[in-house]
Amino acid sequence: MDFDLMITSLPKLLSAAVITLKLLSASLIIGLFIGFLFAVLRLNKNPFINKFAYGYSYLFRGTPLLVQIFIIYYGLGQIEWLRSTFLWVILKEPYWCAIIAFALNTGAYTSEILRSAFQTIKPGIIEAGKSLGISSKIILYKIQIPVAIRQSLPAYGNEIILMMKGTSLASTVTLMDITGVAKHIVSTTYKPLEVFLLAGGIYLFMTFIIHNLIKYLEKKYSFQ
């Protein structure tokens, strides 16, 4: 074990962790919007809208994230007319391509989590609200959504951790996140064990923090 190398690579890996966290937070925020939207579409009575939302989540959950990134980063650039639109400003950057792929991916999983949370709300709660004469809009905002959020917390916590691990794929489209930097250091020093173990340690630490944060939130918002 080359401990000197570990000490000198630590600051490099830690500054790369900032990129990992940026990728993670951006894709989670966008993914949450997409997830909410598609969860609502899934619960729609119209079979066409319903099927569309199901198709989206099936497509993104049934294929590897790596394929999704490659389609967006390598594939979309091939479409001529896309290159002349303003979208090209975004799509030529690997950073934004990665975020788009991650957001669409986590959005699909989030929509499933939220949908099942909405569907498992006990009908009694909604009926109680109705019998108290509360408008259905307020029932949605003050009863259904808070209860659904609380119920989906544990599953969503897992999804955050899965997504954090997923950001390592950004290194395959030339981004220098933790994995990308670790690989770069290995290619110049030929010491894979030390560097990858250290990078793994950083990821593990981040998992630990997220896990405890979610646990804290679950406790705070638990029904007493």
Partner 1 sequence: MDLLSFGKTGWGDELFYATLMTIAVAVTAMLIGFLFSLIFTPLKLSNNKFLNFIGNTYTTVIRGVPELLVIYLFFFGGSGAIMYVASIFGYFEYIEINAFITGSVAIGIISGAYSTEVFRGAIQSIDKGQFEAAKVLGVSKFVQFYKIILPQMLRLAIPNLSNVWQITLKDTSLISVTGLVEIMRQSYIAAGSTRDPLFFYCFAAVLYLMLTFLSMKLINRLEVKYSRGF
Q: Which stretches of the chain bind partner 1, using CB under 8 A?
A: 58-59, 62-68, 70-71, 74-76, 78-79, 161, 164-169, 171-172, 179, 182-183, 186, 192-193, 196-197, 199-200, 203-204, 207-208
DSSP, residue by residue, 65-130: HHHHHHIIIIIGGG-HHHHTSTHHHHHT-HHHHHHHHHHHHHHHHHHHHHHHHHHTS-HHHHHHHH
User: 167, 171, 180: which is closest to 207 by C-alpha?
Assistant: 167
Residue 92 or 130 with smaller CB distance to partner 1: 92
Q: How far is the CB of 146 from partner 1 (least distance, A)?
A: 28
Shortest Å distance, C-beta 137 to partner 1: 36
Residues 6 or more apart from 182 whose CB is under 8 A from it? 9, 13, 16, 195, 196, 198, 199
Pick the closer one to partner 1 by CB: 38 or 203: 203
In degrees and rounded to multiples of 5, residue 101 shows phi and psi of -60, -45
161 backbone φψ class: left, alpha, beta (φ>0; ψ -120 to 50): alpha
Using the minimum distance from each CB to partner 1, give the nearer residue, 129 or 166: 166
Closest approach of Cβ 211 to partner 1, in Å?
A: 8
Shortest Å distance, C-beta 65 to partner 1:
8
- Closest CB to partner 1 among 147 and 181? 181
Distance of closest approach, residue 72 Cβ to partner 1, in angstroms: 9
How far is residue 40's CA from residue 144's CA, in Å, rounded to a whole number?
12
Please report where in the chains the tokens 């389609």 appear, as a residue: 71
Closest CB to partner 1 among 64 and 146? 64
Nearer to partner 1, 38 or 109 (CB): 109
* The amino acid at 172: T
Instruction: In angstroms, give the least distance from the CB of 167 to partner 1.
Output: 8
Residues in CB range of 197: below 8 A, 6 or more apart: none
